[in-house]
Structure 1
């Protein structure tokens, strides 16, 4: 994992970066995975047609580069590991994700929050926005935690679906509320749907 800081996109402007991508079919729909030589850089929900095209265009804009030529072994390795770990996750494996992460699409407080979430909110548990703000070192930033969750470039792997409102309500989710409910049900936090 990289430890650079800054605002989202600030690091990408320095030098164009290449990346590799793949689409993975999952129980919550197709996921677009993209990786650089540094690690998995993004996971995007509903990765078909225009939605996938928009995600790829955003990625190219943010990284200032484009798809890598064949033979970029590190990016290929990160994609393979991410795909394998996601397959195991969706099969019910409770192991934490170990794929290297490229944090270049986030920065500052949002990155601190996402790193805290990835490290300390395991499978089958949840955390509130306020508690996550406290854990990230800024108790008054519960709303900023919500913004960080909405801008999370690595959902599922960095489990923003595990963050709930203080009332226990499910809150929002960039992949849609049905996807969040499905992920929480799969992890045993919510009951499985009847239909």
Structure 2
């Protein structure tokens, strides 16, 4: 009878601990999912554009402007599903398949900096409308350059994957788990 009580008590304790671990797992999942957008790598990009409307008779009208923009590599944690995380409490491991690393350009509304100008005596200065048009053209050009040359995106994505692995290994390590981290593939790039 005494052994039976001990066995029942031990089973009840194991069930309680198991439920607690499951609740901890669910709570951790909710915490990760609520993070939404986690930026793991960024780079600053300076874009330069020029206006050259020179005419021999009226004189030169040349101006060079630049602006800074930023490219971020992030994980949209709201896309994480419960099936993407599996815990093995006995082995002390967790396997997580993270949403893909996505890149985006931000900071487009930065001010244009005048780098150079040579406006002839009989020519008008570059006005705000022309600068706005120049900036739009430069932005379109930058997007095309980034799409044609995947080196920037690839470098930023690799850095973000490395930092994300470090972050999640540390996060799960603090909770007593060894983490195996994979990433879902990216179907389209948001530039």
Q: Return the TM-score normalized by structure 1.
A: 0.20
Q: Return the TM-score normalized by structure 2.
A: 0.20
Whose radius of gyration is greater, 1 or 2? 2
Q: Which structure shows the higher helix fraction? A: 2
